[in-house]
Structure 1
Amino acid sequence: MLRCEGPFARPGQKIGLLGGSFDPAHDGHVHITRAALTRFGLDRVWWLVSPGNPLKKRGPAPMHDRLIAARAAMQHPRVEVTDIEARLGMRYTAQTIAALQDRYVGVRFVWLMGADNLAQFHLWQDWQTIMARVPVGVLARPGDRISARMSKAARMYPEARLIGRQAALLGDMEAPAWSFVNLPMNQSSSTAIRNAGGWGAGAVVDRQPPR
């Protein structure tokens, strides 16, 4: 097994990476994580609680608080909440993926995102490098299905898309490969929780932010 300043993994395992500030984590994150395990045929999912989101002006709550809340919200034997990005000194997804692939040789990583992020994916630093390095699993969130399907990323990689039952093969595919799956809607939002004062006062229950 491999351990590189983070979770254990075995060569050959298919591991989904769900990155974000998780400020705070909520049942929407849990919803798409459980779906990703089954819909994309993953062995495990790691939540990458980021040090901060480069595309947001407002800084997140302290890492310690976000990790505690995330671990309380996401309790599943095949899901691990980790601060490996902070440990590796990474803030951008492309850098994080490259670092993980270097350290976990033989592990098959899949980047996970909400459909809202696919609509903005072309704004991420080195986003085409991400597409070239790992398969990408996209999970529908409220109100973003049409914009995601019409996004620049979707239009640039039409032949790399896995449709229907092909989604279960995502972890076995060589990049570029991506799949978009529709899920029952979950309206939970970190922004709404913060605006309602439910975060910072002991609550454990944002969409995944652009990275």
Structure 2
Amino acid sequence: MAEKRSEAPSGLSVGLLGGSFNPAHEGHLHLTHMALEALALDRIWWLVSPQNPLKSTRDMAPLDERLAGARALVEKSGDPRILVTAIETELGTRYTIDTVRALKARYADTRFVWLMGADNMIELPRWANWRELTQEIPIAVYPRPGFTMKARTCPAAALLRSVTLEASEADRLAKSAPPALVFLDGPEHLASSTEIRARHGR
């Protein structure tokens, strides 16, 4: 899907929420609205991944199906600040570091923030070139059941401790030069794509 440059006008702050969205659910909307408010973002892009390198293809729904489900959910929410996209297929990127660099090059005047769950923060050292990623884009971590406190003491968090903002300063993150990190405070949402698939026999 080709993206128009008008989707990221100069000077806007845009959160990037990458994931399989297999399927998209109310938890994605919950954390999106949490991030929009806490980080004072203008937009959030849901980057529906063609295939997460760390996840199996066995129970992965086709990209078109996952895109359609995410778009239907966003349309139902009525929030025009959320854009659902599979732009990684156009960019030809597989790893987050390459996607972030490509988006920064394409939208040079846009301030991007990477959004990730506490569970993914713990797993960050498994990501390709993860240290370089922290140097490319500010990161906001949202709470996830069972992982929120563990994420604050994980190796990646320790590496970034000196550049970690207080939750009360989260609205400064988008304007902060990387590396920069913040752990968002807010209610945890129990929805899980894995559990939804299990309930539907997938």
- The residue type equivalent to 2:183 in the other structure is F
**Contact (CA 8 Å) 1:141, 1:183: kept in 2 or not?**
no
For 1:178 and 1:198, locate their aligned partners in 2 and report how far apart those are by CA, in whole Å: 38
Tell me, yes or no, if structure 1 residue 5 matches structure 2 residue 2.
yes
Q: Does 2:116 match 1:113? A: yes
Segments of structure 1 that go 5 or more residues without pairing to the other structure are 200-211
1:108-157 CA-partner distances (Å, limit 9, x unpaired) = 10000111111111110011111101100110011101220111110011
The aligned runs of 1:49-128 (5 Å cut-off) are 49-59=48-58, 60-75=60-75, 76-128=79-131
Percent identity, aligned pairs only, is 45
Query: Which structure 1 residue ranges, 4+ long, deviate > 6 Å from structure 2?
Result: none
- In terms of fraction of residues, the more helix-rich structure is 2
The offset of 1:57, in angstroms, is: 2.2
Number of matched residues? Answer: 196
Separation in structure 1 between the aligned mates of residue 128 and residue 30 of structure 2, nearest angstrom = 27
CA distance, structure 2, for counterparts of residue 12 and residue 122 of structure 1: 31
Alignment match, 1:131: 134
What TM-score do the two structures reach when normalised by structure 2?
Answer: 0.93
CA separation in 2, counterparts of 1:69 and 1:5? Answer: 19
Cα distance in 2, alignment partners of residues 45 and 5 from structure 1: 17
Q: Which has the higher contact order (CA 8 A, sep 6+)?
A: 1
Residue identity matched to 2:57: R
Question: What TM-score, normalized by structure 1, do the two folds share?
Answer: 0.89
Correspondence for 1:24: 23
Quote the residue 2:189 is aligned against: 186
RMSD of aligned residue pairs (Cα, Å) = 1.4
User: Residue by residue, what CA displacement relative to the aligned partner does 1:38-85 show, whole Å, maximum 9, x if unpaired?
Assistant: 101111000000000101123421111101100111231101000101
